[in-house]
Every structure is written in structure tokens, then in C-alpha cells.
Chain A
């Protein structure tokens, strides 16, 4: 007599949560938040149901690109400590299932966004999915230490898509929000690469820490943080900025610059001495940094109809 629990299918049968984990829910949170800010910061109002549905389809599209990324990167994920518990390396979901889910949800999300919002928004979503899955995951990630710099663009498109959902067109303000995420991504990931130590080395991913060394990575973090600070504070003087945003930007960028400067001043010996405390703090701050900048843009946009937000 056979026991049903001993069959491979029963042991590895995926639950709904495992498929949901393929969609990278934490990345999806950032996508949803920045896309909502992009949509609400636009000078055109959107019907709540149309807005809700459109953002949902953007989130599904982002999730689909996450599933495609996990399908392609399953070999790397199984080597890296940070990603070894993802559904495919953990044996909960088969690679083919992730591919099927990614392709199906990509098609569904793009088609539905075209119907709920407009063709330009749908086109941008399709471009973003392909950029993340093909240009970043399949090409850049394993080919160049600039993987994070160029690949970061994929994560920077959601506020632009949000803006297009509302207006049906591009604008300078939308691209400023894009630039904010685009410039923020490299220092965020390089700080992570500094204290995750051997993860990227083990997986043969040509992160800057592996190809150019850690001192060079520290210099790059400082350089990008300086450029980011100029951009972030400068955005405060545009149509999406205002007193509130500018106050947030000045404080956050001062803290971020101090963190980057301290990282630049340290060497590996000092970092190992305190278990990468400064790098870890900088990484944690980077999470609040982006959330609070977009939060401030949202506050400005929310107050504008009452004559309080903006300049």
C-alpha cells in the first residue's frame, strides 16, 4: 500500500503563498507605493475604481517580472544565502511553473492596464517587465558590474507609469521621480553587497564589490549619493515639490551624505571590526529615504487642492 505523503508531488506541493512569494511581494510594495504617488501627484484626477484597478495591474505586472526573474535566476538564488529560501531553490515551486505564471500574469496585466487606463501606460508596463526580465535578469546581471545601475531603471518606471495612468502622457515631473529611484538604487544595493560579503562572490555575479573591489565600491557609493542629493533637493523646487518636500529632502539627504561619507572613510578592517555597522545603518536609512521622499511628494499632492501644498 502506498502512502500519499511519500510521493514527491505531495511533499513539494506548492501552496498559494509559495506562488505569491514568486511575485516578490516586498518589491511589489515599493512598486505600488511609487506608482500611487506618481498617479496622485499628476495634475489630472483619476476615478477611484479606475485608479485602484490600474495600480493593481501595475502590481501584477511587477509581480510577473519578479516570477520571471526567479525562474531565470534559480541557479544563482540557490547559491546565495539571502535568496536560498525562495520558492524555486527551496523546491516548493517548479521552474516551469514560475515561467508560466510570469508569462501569463505579464500578458494579463498589460492587457488589463490598456483597458483600464491607456495604451501608453500599458506599453510602459510591458517595457518595464521586459527590461527587468530580459535586459537586467538575463543579460546585465551576469555580464557587467554596472548591472545595478542600468537594471535599477526597471524599478524606477512605476511612478512614470502612475503618472501616465492619470495624464496619458510623459512629463518632466514623472522623469524626476524616475531619476530619484534610478539614482537611489546603486548606493542602496552596493551597501547591501558590502555587508552581505561572500554572497555575490559565491554566485559569480559581477557586483562592483567583486569586480572592482570594496574600496572602489565605497567611492562609488559616495559619488552616487552626492549626485542623488543634488537631484533630490533640486526636485523640491519643481511642480511636485514644496516646503514640506524640501524640508524632508534636506534632512534626509544630509543624513544620507553623512552615511556615505563615513562608508567612504572606512576600510575593510574597520568594517569587520564592528560587523559592518555603518554599512548596515546606511542600508536601513536608504529604505526610509525613498519611502519618505515619495511620502513627501504624496503629502504635497494631497494638500495642493486645499491651497497648502506646492509652491
Chain B
């Protein structure tokens, strides 16, 4: 039979683990938001090496 008694130290450890979990969750959300902003803000038509870009056609005018 395992030890079932809850000690104060278990509570403290739980608090610490929840804190780390929340920080990791926040980090994941932040990276997701950053990715979304980077993808929507980047003008992929101006990527280097693209043949028919707006910049390319302007330059050739």
C-alpha cells in the first residue's frame, strides 16, 4: 500500500509545478501569437529570388 498522507511540502511542490506549467503555457501562446503576426505581416511576394514579384516588376519599369 502506497503512502497517501498529504504533507505541507506536497502542497508547496504542487504550487511550484502549477507555476511552471502556467509559464510554459504562456510561452506556447506567445510563440503562437508571434507566428501568426509574422505570417500575416510578412509580404511573401517580395521574398528574394521570386521571379514575378511586385518589387521585381517595379524595378524593371
Contact = CB atoms under 8 A, between A and B. Distances in A.
Categorize the interface residue count of chain A: 10 to 19
A99 to B, nearest CB: 19
Interface stretch (B7-15, B43-51, B53-61): B7-15
Interface residues of B, number: 15
B34 A15 contact: no
Interface string B25-41: 00000100110011001
A50 B9 contact: no
Nearest to A3: B7
Contact of B34 (A4, A5, A116): A116
A26 interface: no
Name the prevailing secondary structure of the B interface residues: helix
A53 interface: yes
Interface string B1-21: 000000111001101100110
A16 B20 contact: yes
Contacts of A13: 9, 12-13
B15 A15 contact: yes
Interface string A31-65: 00000000000000001011001001000000000
Nearest to A47: B37
A109 B33 CA distance: 17
A268 to B, nearest CB: 47
Interface of B: 7-9, 12-13, 15-16, 19-20, 30, 33-34, 37-38, 41
9 contacts: A5-B9, A10-B9, A13-B9, A15-B12, A47-B37, A49-B33, A50-B37, A53-B34, A116-B34
